[in-house]
Amino acid sequence: MSRYEAVIGLEVHAQLKTRSKLFCACSTGFGEAPNTNTCPVCAGMPGALPVVNKRAVEFGVKLAQALDCRVKDNSVFARKNYFYPDLPKGYQISQYEHPLAEEGRLEVPVNGDNQEVRIIRIHMEDDAGKSIHGAENTSYVDLNRTGVPLLEIVSGPDIYSPDQAVAYLKALRNILIYLDICQGSMQEGNFRCDANVSVRPRGRPEYGTRTEVKNMNSFRFVHKALSYEIDRQIDLLEDGEEVVQETLLFDEASGETRSMRGKEEAHDYRYFPDPDLVPLTIPERERQKWARELPELPLSRWRRFIRDYALSEELADTLTGDRSLADYFERAAACFDEPRTVANWMTSEMLRELNERDISAAQSPFAPEQLAELLGLVRQEKISTKIAKQIFPEVFAHGLDPESFVQEKGYVQITDESRLEEVVREVLAENPDEVASYKQGKKKLMSFFMGQVMKKTKGQANPKLVDQLLRSGLEG
Ligand code: ADP
Ligand code: MG
Ligand code: ZN
């Protein structure tokens, strides 16, 4: 392996979160009855005229701005001609010679370092429909997805390993989610990736022949498919054979790639400018407005979290890796001035509850202010950390007010000295042997006595106070 270097370039299709399709007013709603979200435009009726969706353009320009791309003054929609049963127009409307934006970059965090990957282009296009192969050799076509807006984001060949490829995809997906323009789910197919990959002897400037791998619907499969494909190409070169340029399908079951079709050239598609659509120009005023609306992006938020809240890189990673988690954190940290404690709680106790329910922090039944209140109870020594963790699943699940819950259920720490003194006396009286050993120098038994006191008080005794009382009881 180390004698060879892999080169990877990724093409991502991101489905935009617009309410209507790219060139008509049909709904983009998912999971509705087949062929209900259609009209003459997306059903490809002759004479129907497309009108571009302004929201989709706004989303495209915002992504371009977030990726430092140059937004072109004029971009042109072109017809990419091919026949497919679920593409009734007989062509896809895409952008070819003049894409929406070019020449950007994405900084990808890899092992605490940032690696810059060039963005070659971002262009807009409409999606095809869906063929469904049913029983009895019958196939059906559902046109609900036909015409749904996509952005294609093409990276430079600047990625050198499966790990980096996954890191790039995660960073890109995160930006799309921060911008709130794409759902970013590979499983549901609204964030799709094709991977171009080649290998070359290390140190050689020219690229090797590449293959393109399709059909990977999770980060894990992208990693698997690329690793497989890199090994396959190295084996070919080692055997003195050549890599054939082709499109491959990743087979999840076998973990292998297999040939789908041979090399295809752009001219196969007979691209030409769509005569029904004028070139897309984006007024300066609009660009500036959209630029002002850009949210803080993941990388700068990550840096700010480390700087302003003194979080570790790892905690900042976990929190900013999910916009809603980061938002939640900032609201909680605004009410409780120990950000690291908030971050630790969120990435352990809270993340566990969220993951169990498969919900985001934005959907949490437990509000950030409530988390801050719970942590406040611990800091004021009204409850121990142990009790806080113990009650967390319940207060979280029902969004209960921690303070009143603790009062009602009698979880408040026992700080009443005379009450604790009594318990300590009991424990010492019940364990004369241990008391004798302690007095002979077996100081480790302290934790045994502490445990006994906690058992009798259901974990509610104030540990500091118990420690003092035990010491004076044993040594006094
Ligand atoms: P096409 O027009 O066939 O899609 P492009 O030149 O647009 O080809 O490149 C598509 C993708 O392939 C880009 O992401 C690019 O970075 C990547 N790529 C190009 N050449 C190579 C190569 N030799 N090895 C790996 N990736 C490559
Ligand atoms: Mg391509
Ligand atoms: Zn339509």
**CATH code (residue 421):** 1.10.10.410
The answer, yes or no, to whether residue 11 has pLDDT greater than 70, is yes
Shortest-distance atom of ligand 1 to CA 266 = 2
Q: How far is the CA of 443 from the centre of ligand 3 (A)?
A: 79
Q: Which of 96, 196, 213, 247 to mutate to test the pocket of ligand 1 (most atoms within 8 A of CB)?
A: 196
How many Å lie between the centroid of ligand 3 and the Cα of residue 146?
A: 8
The reply to whether 124 and 145 lie within a common domain is yes
| Lowest-pLDDT range of 193-197, 256-260, 290-294, 355-359 | 256-260
155 confidence band (pLDDT: 50, 70, 90): very high
Whether 156 lines ligand 1, by a CB cut-off of 6 Å, is: yes
9 close to ligand 1 (CB < 6 Angstrom): yes
- How are beta strands 113-126 and 101-110 bridged, if at all? antiparallel
Name the more confident of 383 and 412: 383
**Does position 139 have pLDDT exceeding 70, yes or no?**
yes
203 and 235 in a common domain: yes
Q: Are residues 152 and 219 in the same domain?
A: yes
The Cα–Cα gap between 42 and 312 comes to 50
* Cβ atoms within 10 Å, residue 109: 19
Ligand nearest to the CA of 11: 1
At residue 413, φ and ψ (nearest 5 deg) are: -60, 145
- From the CB of 245, is ligand 1 less than 6 Å away? no
Q: How many CA atoms lie within 13 A of 331 on its CB side?
A: 14
SS (H, E, C) 307-328: HHHCCCHHHHHHHHCCHHHHHH
Same domain for 316 and 242: no
* Averaged pLDDT score across all residues of the chain: 91
C-alpha 272 to ligand 2 mean position (Å): 16
- Tell me, in angstroms, the distance from the centre of ligand 3 to residue 220's CA: 35
Instruction: Report d(CA 291, CA 243) in Å as an integer.
Output: 44
11 C-alpha to ligand 2 centroid (Å): 7
Smallest CA separation from ligand 1 atom 5, residue: 154
Per the structure, the count of domains in the chain is 3
159 - beta bridge partners? 8
Atom of ligand 1 nearest to the CA of 10: 14
* Shared domain check, 110 and 52: yes
- Is residue 11 lining ligand 1, measured as CB closer than 6 Å? yes
Q: Does the beta carbon of 154 lie inside 6 Å of ligand 1?
A: yes
Nearest alpha carbon to residue 295 among 19, 33, 456, 63: 63
Instruction: Please tell me whether residues 188 and 227 are part of one structural domain.
Output: yes
Rounded (5°) CA angle 204-163-197: 45
- DSSP letter at 383 equals S
pLDDT band at 418 (very low <50, low <70, confident <90, very high): confident
3-state SS, one letter per residue, for 160-223: CCHHHHHHHHHHHHHHHHHCCCECCCCCCCCEEEEEEEEEEECCCCCCCCCEEEECCCCHHHHH
Cβ distance 336 to 342 under 8 Å? yes
**Interval 370-384 mean pLDDT:** 90
Instruction: Identify the pLDDT of residue 263.
Output: 65
Confidence tier at 398 by pLDDT (50, 70, 90)? very high
Tell me how far apart the alpha carbons of residues 317 and 325 are, in angstroms, rounded to a whole number.
11
C-alpha span between 472 and 457 (Å, rounded): 19
Cβ contacts of 457 within 8 Å, gap of 6 or more? 414, 420, 423
Q: 247 to each of 23, 55, 124, 458, how far by Cα in Å?
A: 30, 33, 22, 64
pLDDT surpassing 60 at residue 427: yes
Do 124 and 59 share a domain, yes or no? Answer: yes
Tell me if 211 CB under 6 Å of ligand 1.
Answer: no
Of the chain, the end-to-end C-alpha distance in Å amounts to 70
DSSP letter at 182 equals B
Task: Please give the helix or strand (H or E) that residue 191 lies within, else none.
Answer: strand 191-201
**458 pLDDT tier (thresholds 50, 70, 90):** confident
1 has pLDDT over 60:
no
Local structure of 244: helix, strand or coil? coil
For the chain, counts of helices (H) and of strands (E): 16, 16
Indicate left, alpha or beta for 293 from its phi (over 0: left) and psi (-120 to 50: alpha): alpha
> Which residue's alpha carbon is nearest to atom 14 within ligand 1?
9
* Confidence bin at 463 (pLDDT 50/70/90): confident
Tokens of 144: 């609900």
Same domain, 350 and 429: no
Asked if residue 268 has its Cβ within 6 Å of ligand 1, the reply is no
Q: Are 325 and 199 part of one and the same domain?
A: no
pLDDT band of 40, cuts 50, 70, 90: very high
Q: Kindly state the average pLDDT of the residues 171-186.
A: 94
* Chain centroid to CA 390: 29
Q: Are residues 453 and 404 in the same domain?
A: no
pLDDT at 70 over 90: yes
Residue that terminates a domain, selected from 381, 409, 437: 409
Locate the ligand 1 atom nearest the alpha carbon of residue 196 and give its number.
26
Last residue within a domain, chosen from 365, 380, 409: 409
| Domain of 281, in residue numbers | 4-289
Please identify, among 409, 430, 462, the residue that sits at the C-terminal boundary of a domain: 409
| DSSP bridge partners of 113 | 110
Share of the chain above pLDDT 90, in %: 66
| Residue 378 shares a structural domain with residue 447 | no
375 closest CA partner among 354, 355, 394, 389: 389
Q: Return the DSSP state at 25.
A: S
Task: Report angle CA 361, 366, 367 to the nearest 5 degrees.
Answer: 80
**325 and 239, same domain (yes or no):** no
- Predicted confidence at residue 266, as pLDDT, reads 57
Does this model's pTM top 0.95? Answer: no
Angle of helix 323-335 versus helix 313-320 axis, rounded to 10: 120
